[in-house]
Structure 1
Amino acid sequence: MAAQPEGTPIWADAMFTDLEAAKTFYGEVLGWTFAESSAEFGNYTQAHRNGKAVAAVVPPMPGQDAEPQSAWCLYFSSPDVTATAEKIKDSGGTVLMEPMAVADFGSMCLARDPAGIVFGIWQPGTHKGFELEGEPGAYAWAEVFTREPETSDAFLTSVFGYNAKRMTDDQVDYKVFDLGGEMPVIGRMTMTPEDFPAEVPSYIQVYFAVDDCDAAVATAEKLGGRKVFGPMGSPFGRFASIVDPQGAAFAVIDLKTTEGEMPAFV
């Protein structure tokens, strides 16, 4: 596998207080199976779809003072995690966990942009990232939801060298970012007070592909999840936003069921 360009979404994981409950939920909703937990690495547990690694779940680290809020974390590829961490600091971000090696799997750090969005950086070693993308049960897309779009836009382009294109719809402040190719790698949506309560912080929403969006939402609700938005048709696919029973937000999208014309970006 060729190395992913810096700034490409490469991996996603989430921390759950009840790991077994999380495995049951995502196993039912996304069709995941799970590898054995690695005690050496804090019971980090990879999720698979059709035998390929698609994400991971992990319990809180021992000794944490407070119960952490479950949340999905998106990791961006880097050829040099230490250099990327310095760019994050120079661009006004905060490094929450300094670069560290994870055996021979790779090296990582955790960071926060100036608008408060938490994300990860992954420099691959033997673990190259997603083994499956854009298929049911696998990563499909991600969007930065921010209350400070100008701040987040400047940060993303400074750290990763993205090109930005704005949707030509005056009703929605939405951009996509690319790395010089035709295909965008991530989107950015402005959070408005009308649509997002003040207590909801800026975040990155990870989309996982599904065969049937409506069925995935129904399964999530049956298992204690909460639908936040959708299901809704779009030119990109039929999608919905969900909060799982432990509070982690994510989205599901049926990429094959599209509706309407593709919007223009400039």
Structure 2
Amino acid sequence: MTSIALGAPIWADSVTSDLRADTAFYEGLFGWASEDSGEEFGNYTTFGIPDGSPGAGRPVMGIMPCPPGMSPSKSWNLHFKVASCEAATDQAVRLGAVLEDGPGEVSGMLRYSMLTDPNGAPFGLVEALDPTTGFGAWGEPNTVSWAEYHYDGAPADAMRFYAALLGWNVTTPPWEDPSNPRPYAALSPDGGGEEFGGCHAAAGFEKDLPPQWSVMVAVDDAEAVCARAKEFGGSVAAEPMEVPGLLVAGVAAPSGTVVSIHSQRPWE
């Protein structure tokens, strides 16, 4: 189990138009095991790092088939941990968010709601009713390790909503250029928790995209994972690109849902 602080990411999932193909894709690409919850729970499927225990092992993310009238996810949905789903949802709406779904409950395990923030980016809120709810692994190879937001403006401006809602610390990292009018915003939960993500000023093709969260999976070799994505029926949505210390890329599952990956650059 991971220890998930209030305000930090607690889960990631997506809606798929092809559960069978996407399940095989993620299992092959990341070495995950899967567990289908059955028709009673909409065939929600949980992926995990195999650890010899029954089921999927240590949970890392989930997918579910598209309900009627819904389109598949363009990217993985990111959910944040709150003490009270109802209270946090009400506060989010007061701060300018739009409620899309919920609050609702899942089998005594959690309460959830889905919203879009004032900039139009989707996100979720989760109240864990069961202490095992959420990521069972974080920051390891083939697990979610980072959450990144892009915004065509000053990152700190976009993060004021989340700081007010979730109590985040939004700071400028020491490596940032002091003359940058739109400096990177590093994100961490209140109470001294570790950084879990950041927000950067949109650049290049991102300026043509709406603000959004990207869920990032750590891998040993981003270039090799991109090559394997094609072998397992997916595609490369964004070729590996260098950023300080990392190679980042995007791969798409057979349904078209995109997830970001990153690895250390091989020469470092």
For 1:197 and 1:219, how far apart are their aligned partners in 2? 29
Q: 1:19 to 1:45 in 2, by over 3 A?
A: same
The equivalent position to 1:159 in structure 2, one of 155, 165, 186, is 165
The offset of 1:241, in angstroms, is: 2.5
Q: 1:238 to 1:196 in 2, by over 3 A?
A: closer
Structure 1 runs of 4+ aligned residues shifted over 6 Å read none
> Which moves more between the two structures, 238-247 or 16-25?
238-247
The offset of 1:69, in angstroms, is: 4.0
Q: 1:36 to 1:85 in 2, by over 3 A?
A: same
Say yes or no: does 1:88 pair with 2:127.
Answer: no
* Matched residue, 1:141: 146
For 2:266 and 2:129, how far apart are their aligned partners in 1? 36
For 2:227 and 2:196, how far apart are their aligned partners in 1? 29
For 1:184 and 1:165, how far apart are their aligned partners in 2? 10
For 2:63 and 2:229, how far apart are their aligned partners in 1? 17
The offset of 1:56, in angstroms, is: 0.6
The equivalences for 1:212-223 within 5 A come to 212-222=221-231, 223=233
Return the letter of the residue paired with 1:56: G
For 1:178 and 1:190, how far apart are their aligned partners in 2? 18
* Matched residue, 2:5: 5
**Deviation by residue 1:193-250 (Cα, 9 ceiling, x = unmatched):** x33262x322110111222222111111333312414243633x43322333322221
Q: 1:173 to 1:2 in 2, by over 3 A?
A: closer
* Matched residue, 1:263: none
Q: 1:248 to 1:151 in 2, by over 3 A?
A: farther
Are 2:2 and 2:136, in contact at CA under 8 Å, matched by a contact in 1? no
Say yes or no: does 1:189 pair with 2:200.
Answer: yes
**Deviation by residue 1:33-86 (Cα, 9 ceiling, x = unmatched):** 11133211111010111221111110011x32x534443101100111111101
The offset of 1:131, in angstroms, is: 0.6
Return the letter of the residue paired with 1:104: G
* Matched residue, 2:254: 245
TM-score by length of 2: 0.85
Are 2:143 and 2:217, in contact at CA under 8 Å, matched by a contact in 1? yes
> Which moves more between the two structures, 181-190 or 204-213?
181-190
SS at match of 1:156: helix
Return the letter of the residue paired with 1:13: D
* Matched residue, 2:62: 56
Aligned residue pair count: 254
Q: 1:256 to 1:123 in 2, by over 3 A?
A: farther
The offset of 1:178, in angstroms, is: 1.6
The offset of 1:144, in angstroms, is: 1.3
TM-score by length of 1: 0.86
Q: 1:230 to 1:189 in 2, by over 3 A?
A: same
Say yes or no: does 1:114 pair with 2:118.
Answer: yes
Are 2:235 and 2:252, in contact at CA under 8 Å, matched by a contact in 1? yes
Stretches of structure 1 that go unaligned for 5 or more consecutive residues are 260-266
For 2:117 and 2:146, how far apart are their aligned partners in 1? 19
The offset of 1:30, in angstroms, is: 1.1
Stretches of structure 2 that go unaligned for 5 or more consecutive residues are 51-56
Tell me the C-alpha RMSD between the 2 structures: 2.4
Are 1:234 and 1:258, in contact at CA under 8 Å, matched by a contact in 2? no
Q: Percent of pairs identical after alignment?
A: 26
* Matched residue, 1:124: 128
**Deviation by residue 1:82-105 (Cα, 9 ceiling, x = unmatched):** 111011111111111121111111
Are 1:11 and 1:76, in contact at CA under 8 Å, matched by a contact in 2? yes
* Matched residue, 1:46: 46
Return the letter of the residue paired with 2:171: K
Q: 1:228 to 1:172 in 2, by over 3 A?
A: farther
For 1:144 and 1:196, how far apart are their aligned partners in 2? 11
Are 2:14 and 2:73, in contact at CA under 8 Å, matched by a contact in 1? no
Q: 1:146 to 1:243 in 2, by over 3 A?
A: farther
Are 2:172 and 2:184, in contact at CA under 8 Å, matched by a contact in 1? yes
